[in-house]
Amino acid sequence: MLEPPLSHSNLLQLKRWNTPTIYNGWEQITASDAAAPVTNIDETKDFMPQMGPMVGYAMTLVIQPSDVTHKQNQTAWADYRAYIASCPGPKIVLVQDLDLPKTIGSFWGEVNANVHRSLGCVGTICDGAIRDVDEMTNAGFKALARRLCVGHAHSTPVSWGEPIECFGSRVTPGQLVHADKHGFIAIPLGEEGRLLEAAIQMDSNECETVIAAARSSCGHSLEETVNRINAAAEDFGRLTRKQFGRDGEH
């Protein structure tokens, strides 16, 4: 198995921040445009927001619960589980459902949540439906999906380990994924190294400049408050340019 690019302690620290903060850090270190489709384009729903963010490496899967012919592959489950087990964790399974825009059945439920948890997966981002949401939560397996549903129909692995489209974004196996109630970001391969440092620095810059100026406006006139915020925004820009060579969001 290949060694993951980040240490487990680094991943644990990334998990302490929400996904928008991780995006703010990524924006400063990437060679891509800030509008690049590395985040979900379509709306996601976090069915376990109380579990907080999840962080892991992307494992990819394609399903089509409406089509019974996929069950003709007698080794699909065993081959798919071997794929999941072949990479070190933590892992997040990103799923493309070919039945969209309909959702005919769920690949995920109590059984699959427990099986995948035992194989080093911390959750899923499923562009389709899930079920057994309480039992999945009990297994410690987080899920972002489009909706809940009742049945599993003909759910079986169709293909895996290849680039997929998930909530309107292209995801490649091995990408570092950070997800929470806001959605997800799939970090382009090779851009993981400075991510934590950049996210922390950007959060610190905000707290020391614009946010501090806005939160300390009590007793000042509106004109004074605007002037203080404008000055703080300039300070924020100077700090960001000094650290990353580019402007931040303010």
> 34 falls in which pLDDT band (50, 70, 90)?
confident
Q: What are 234-243's pLDDT values in tens digits?
A: 878 887 888 8
Q: What is the pTM of this model?
A: 0.90
For residues 60-81, average pLDDT? 97
**CA torsion, points 166, 121, 53, 27, in degrees to nearest 10?**
-50
Rounded to 5, what percent of the chain is helix, strand, coil?
40, 25, 40
Task: Note the pLDDT of residue 228.
Answer: 82
For residues 147-156, average pLDDT? 97
Q: Is residue 150's pLDDT more than 60?
A: yes
**DSSP letter for each residue of 3-54:** PPSS-HHHHHHHTTS-HHHHHHHHHHH-SS-TTSS-B-SS--EES-GGG--E
Estimate the crossing angle of helix 195-208 against helix 19-29, to 10 degrees.
110
- Amino acid 18 reads N
Cα-to-chain-centroid distance, residue 103: 22
CATH 2.40.37.10 for the 8-191 domain, yes or no: no
More confident residue, 229 or 25: 25
Which alpha helices (H) appear in 168-221, and where do they start and end? 195-208, 210-215
Single out the residue of 216, 246, 243 nearest to residue 228, CA to CA.
Answer: 216
